[in-house]
Amino acid sequence: MARVLILDSVDRSLAAELESHGISVSDLAKAEPAAVEAALPEAEGIVVRSRTQVTAAMIGQARRLRVIGRAGAGTDNIDKDAAHARGIEVLTVPGGNDRAVAELVLTFLFAFSRQLVPAVDASRRGEWAKSKLGGFELGGETLGIIGLGKIGKTLAELAQGLDLEILGFDPFVDPSEWTTPKVAKCALPDLLERSRFVSVHVPLAPATRGLLGAEELARMRPEAYLIQCARGGVVDEDALADALEGGRLAGAGLDVFSTEPKIPPRLAQNPRVLATPHIGASTEQAQTKIARLLAGSLVRFLQG
């Protein structure tokens, strides 16, 4: 009987589906490190989200490991070189959280355009701050989307209903193969200069690490907002903090960070920043969909 370890919190339907196919499941998401270490040698599969770092050392301990299931799309927390050197398959679930992440981006847009957080904070302090909290409507503003994969395309589709002009740039798509309707393709500098909102949706890879640094952020308008729901490391966080502290950006909505679970203090404490703890995929629907899709892939792999 194949044995799978669940090392991060995932929807219960994943374990139920695996068990219904005769696969043994141990949920160690809340276990002590010693318990995980003791269980690794007998595991044929492990399941993680973004919290657990699947290192070469961990892979070395799991002498029977055949497959690593990532409940999501990104794999930057998995040492893929070490896995592939052992012939271990890495399974992901692209598209399971596209709607959830896109809706979080829109939440940031609405929150910034209507000064929602300052309004709520003032009300909690007993202040009637109506005259200080003028906002602006999203219709007619420009949204620049960096990365037109499943999430970027879903965001573009939803944003069209808000009458936003939509610009797009994708470092992995040849301009001649651009097929995203109602999204005007443009170079990255042009997108940054024209957009009121810039939303990032590329994976973390050598080509995208530090994609938005000091030079790129300097191209953005002082009244612009950066939304980062992709992967920590795509945006240079020190450069972003400098731009915000210098008043060169109106604000930033950040759901991912390079030092998770810690949020850099300069960003966490900046009133121009709305920071959330990597909740982009944390909806009931997304987690259920991801769990079921990943369970199906694991069953097919483990049972040949």
- Is 63 tagged catalytic? no
| Residue 181: predicted pLDDT | 72
**How many other C-beta atoms can be found within 10 angstroms of the C-beta atom of residue 181?**
9
Q: Which of 260, 266, 272, 292 is catalytic?
A: 260
Q: For every one of its 304 residues, what pLDDT tens digit does the chain have, with 9 covering 90 and above?
A: 789 999 999 999 999 999 999 999 999 999 999 999 999 999 999 999 989 999 999 999 999 999 999 998 888 899 999 999 999 999 999 888 999 999 999 999 999 999 999 999 999 999 999 999 999 999 999 999 999 999 999 999 999 999 999 999 998 887 667 777 789 999 999 999 999 999 999 999 899 999 999 999 999 999 999 999 999 999 999 999 999 999 999 999 999 999 999 999 999 999 999 999 999 999 999 999 999 999 999 999 999 8
Q: Do 3-93+283-302 and 98-275 have matching folds?
A: yes
Q: What is the pLDDT of residue 189?
A: 97
Between CA 187 and CA 171 the distance in angstroms is: 9
pLDDT of residue 175: 67
Architecture of domain 98-275: 3-Layer(aba) Sandwich (3.40)
Task: Provide the pLDDT for residue 7.
Answer: 97
User: In this predicted structure, what is the pLDDT of residue 173?
Assistant: 81
Instruction: Please confirm, yes or no, whether 231 is among the known catalytic residues.
Output: yes
What's the one-letter identity of residue 242?
A: D
**274-278 LR contacts (CB < 8 Å, sep 24+):** 274/108, 274/111, 274/112, 274/117, 276/104, 278/50
Hey, where are the domains in the chain? 3-93+283-302, 98-275
**Cα-based angle 164, 165, 171 (whole degrees, multiple of 5):** 120
Residue with tokens 């492990």: 46
Task: Pick the catalytic residue from 70, 196, 201, 278.
Answer: 278
* Cβ(226)–Cβ(270) below 8 Å: no
How far, in Å, CA of 296 to CA of 125, rounded? 50
What is the per-residue pLDDT for 154? Answer: 94
Catalytic residue, chosen from 17, 194, 231, 237, is 231
* Cα distance between residue 9 and residue 28, in whole Å: 9
- CATH 3.30.360.10 holds for 3-93+283-302: no
Length of the chain: 304
